[in-house]
Amino acid sequence: MDGYREKILKVCNTSSKNTLMETLNIEYIDVGENFLVAKMPVNTKVHQPDGVLHGGAMVALAESVGSMASYIFLDAQKFYVRGIEISANHVKSVRDGEVFAKALVVHKGRTTQLWDIKITDADNNLVSICKLTTIALPKK
């Protein structure tokens, strides 16, 4: 991985300190021209009572990776990024291991951004499909 990508991932991971992302052990692991990838461990901290990954944890992972992608692809000195809508379809249960969320930009407008986020397990099986809309708000 080149130095620029490493720098971006370091910024992403450092900004997660003392946040929900740290609580869920979300780590940003890959970035490219139009995508960002994060991983999250699946363990009892993110299970629902019957021992599978909680859908809310998957949505938190999806919103985290999509919002961070908006943040790094916009001028963070000039804008705040906020999620304004998210939807998720969960298609597979996961009990342990790790899940990976890849946010791909669908639309990158001046004000709103649309992200397609696919969550997969370690064997690349689809676990959830999410759509996130973010908004860039000017800093005052």
Structural domains of the chain, ranges and CATH numbers in brackets: 3-138 (3.10.129.10)
Residue 101: its pLDDT value, please? Answer: 98
**pLDDT tens, position by position, 31-70:** 998 999 999 999 999 999 999 999 999 999 999 999 999 9
Residue 1: its pLDDT value, please? Answer: 54
Cite the active site residues: 63
CB proximity list for 19: less than 8 A, separation 6 or greater:
none
Residue 77: its pLDDT value, please? Answer: 84
Residue 76: its pLDDT value, please? Answer: 78
Q: Which residues of the chain have pLDDT under 70?
A: 1
**Count of H helices and E strands in the chain?**
3, 6
Q: Which candidate, 69, 67, 63, 52, places its Cα nearest to that of 86?
A: 63
